[in-house]
Amino acid sequence: MSRPVSTSVNAEMIARIQAERRAIQQRLTPLGHGSVGRGPSLTSGDNTPTSEVMEAAQEAMATDISLASREVLIARLKALEQVEEKIRQGTYGVCDVCGGQIPPGRLEAVPEATRCLACAERESVTA
Ligand SMILES: [Zn+2]
């Protein structure tokens, strides 16, 4: 039973991406629909009559995070989903624009990178 090395590396990447997606989703959840989750640490079992207070606190937190940063989180979430798809298809680490190899160091720093540094820079200058 010999597994190719790349498989375990990819599995590791997917695990890392999924963990990151979960973290982002947790940050997004209280913003959108307040009813989705229980509070992370405050809940002491059953619904207490003070849940209204907690909801208010959650809303206060929600307004604390600006709409702009929420958009950033959602964009990141989508990017991570695309990366996961790429890993599964075996096209991860290939530049979307020029088809070149994205340096491993860049992927390490920016796992959701879909362009090599040159293309990313060119894009950000033009955009
Ligand atoms: Zn490129």
| Distance (Å, whole) CA 77 – CA 82 | 9
- Domain map (residue ranges) of the chain: 1-91, 93-127
Calculate how far, in angstroms, residue 16's C-alpha sits from the geometric centre of ligand 1. 24
d(CA 8, CA 23): 23
Note whether 17 and 110 are within 8 A (CB).
Answer: no
pLDDT recorded at residue 36: 45
- Contacts (Cβ under 8 Å, ≥6 apart) of 4: none
Predicted local confidence at residue 102, as pLDDT: 93
Distance from the alpha carbon of residue 46 to the mean position of ligand 1, in angstroms: 53
User: What is the model's pTM?
Assistant: 0.57
Instruction: Quick: pLDDT tens for 65-108.
Output: 677 888 899 999 999 998 899 988 889 999 999 999 999 899 88
Rounded distance from Cα 107 to ligand 1 centre (Å): 13
Ligand 1 geometric centre to CA of 101 (Å): 8
Give residue 22 CA to ligand 1 midpoint distance, Å: 29
Which residue type does 21 have? R
